[in-house]
Amino acid sequence: MTRLNGKTAVITGGATGIGRAAAKRFVEEGAFVFIFGRRREALDTAVADLGPNARAVQGSVSDEADLDRLYGAVKAERGTLDIVFANAGTGSPLPLGQITSEHIDETFDTNVKGMIFTVQKALPLMREGGSIILTGSSAGTTGAPGFTAYSASKAAVRNLARTWAEDLKGTGIRVNVLSPGATATELAKEALGEEGQKAYGAMTPLQRMADPAEIGAVAAFLASADSSFMTASEVAVDGGLAQL
Ligand SMILES: NC(=O)c1ccc[n+]([C@@H]2O[C@H](COP(=O)([O-])OP(=O)(O)OC[C@H]3O[C@@H](n4cnc5c(N)ncnc54)[C@H](OP(=O)(O)O)[C@@H]3O)[C@@H](O)[C@H]2O)c1
């Protein structure tokens, strides 16, 4: 498919997991992709795999100067931007009763504040017809035991799309939330462990975890004109986990 021919995309958290699968799909569909994340080695490996239509910028979404460098690189090489996949996220469990201020700050700095600045700083480069995709989670809708900060941060992401769809009226830029459920990535492994992952997969009506490519495919749909009448929506790609 060539749905993204000539488009320029930024994917935060694009070196691994869902972001990397989306980057692969975007490139396959014709896009030029900038991936952004903190680990140099992961970025280098991903860019080598993605080929000549991919660039990596190292940095944290929690650092405004790093985001300025990201968009500086986009402007210098491509001039404008069509797609922002604000996907970088972090999350670990901490039961109610043991939650710390640091845990809340770390989660919200990345998942909420980092996402807000990722999008705000992209806007001056974005063109009419642009698409912003925010990675939410089934945990933003359901109760996820032990995941207070993570779940609350993802519930906040859901509202960002609603509010920004209003704020972006008249610009021709759409914004939607893509909410994965159980997906086999590093984050799921670290947050849940092997047993937890099995249980998480088994809880879904499809009785398995998603392959990150299954989430990347929906990100490509939301990035493309195939979703041209969608904004402020949440698309659940969760094997039915949060839909029952
Ligand atoms: N896997 C699941 O079951 C699942 C379910 C629902 C939602 N999600 C969401 O999906 C998104 C992607 O996660 P994933 O599952 O693909 O896990 P992952 O492979 O661990 O991806 C997370 C990515 O975010 C990057 N990242 C984290 N903090 C960052 C920061 N401060 N600045 C820039 N990049 C940062 C990481 O790279 P560096 O560490 O190198 O910075 C990594 O590439 C997250 O928003 C997550 O909450 C995942």
Structure token digits, residue 212? 């990150």
Query: Global pTM?
Result: 0.98
Q: How many residues does the chain have?
A: 244
Q: Model confidence over 21-54: pLDDT tens digits? A: 999 999 999 999 999 999 999 999 999 999 999 9
Q: Which CATH number is associated with domain 8-237?
A: 3.40.50.720
Q: Return the best residue to mutate from 10, 33, 38 for the ligand 1 pocket (most ligand atoms within 8 A of CB).
A: 38
Give me the pLDDT at residue 200, please: 87
- Angle at which helix 114-122 crosses helix 64-78, to 10 degrees, equals 30
Q: Model confidence over 171-196: pLDDT tens digits? A: 999 999 999 999 999 999 998 899 98
Determine the Cα–Cα distance for residues 81 and 229; give it in Å rounded to an integer: 20
Ligand 1 atom 43: residue of nearest CA: 13
Strand-pair partners of 10: 34, 84
**Statement: residue 1 has pLDDT above 90:** no
User: Which ligand 1 atom is at minimum distance from the Cα of 212?
Assistant: 16
The answer for 111, left when phi > 0, alpha when psi is -120 to 50, beta otherwise, is alpha
Q: Model confidence over 61-78: pLDDT tens digits? A: 999 999 999 999 999 999
Q: Is 201 in the pocket of ligand 1 (CB under 6 A)?
A: no
Q: Compute the average pLDDT of residues 133-143.
A: 97
- Measured in Å, residue 158 CA sits from the centre of ligand 1 at 17
Give me the pLDDT at residue 103, please: 98
Q: DSSP letter for 55, please.
A: E
HSE toward the beta carbon, residue 190, CA cutoff 13 A: 8
CB 229, CB 7: distance < 8 Å: no
Q: Which residue has the tokens 């997991």?
A: 17
Would you list the domain boundaries of the chain? 8-237
CB 156, CB 162: distance < 8 Å: no
Determine the Cα–Cα distance for residues 19 and 24; give it in Å rounded to an integer: 9
Q: Model confidence over 184-233: pLDDT tens digits? A: 999 999 988 999 899 989 999 999 999 999 999 999 999 999 999 999 99
Residues 6+ apart with CB under 8 A from 61: 12, 36, 67, 86, 88, 110, 114, 115, 117, 118
Ligand 1 atom 17: residue of nearest CA: 187
Q: Is 18 in the pocket of ligand 1 (CB under 6 A)?
A: yes
Share of the chain above pLDDT 90, in %: 96
List the catalytic residue out of 7, 24, 121, 154. Answer: 154
CB 16, CB 22: distance < 8 Å: no
Q: Model confidence over 95-123: pLDDT tens digits? A: 999 999 999 999 999 999 999 999 999 99
Containing 183, the helix (H) or strand (E) segment is none
Identify whether 7 is a catalytic site residue: no
Average pLDDT, the chain: 97
Give me the pLDDT at residue 60, please: 99
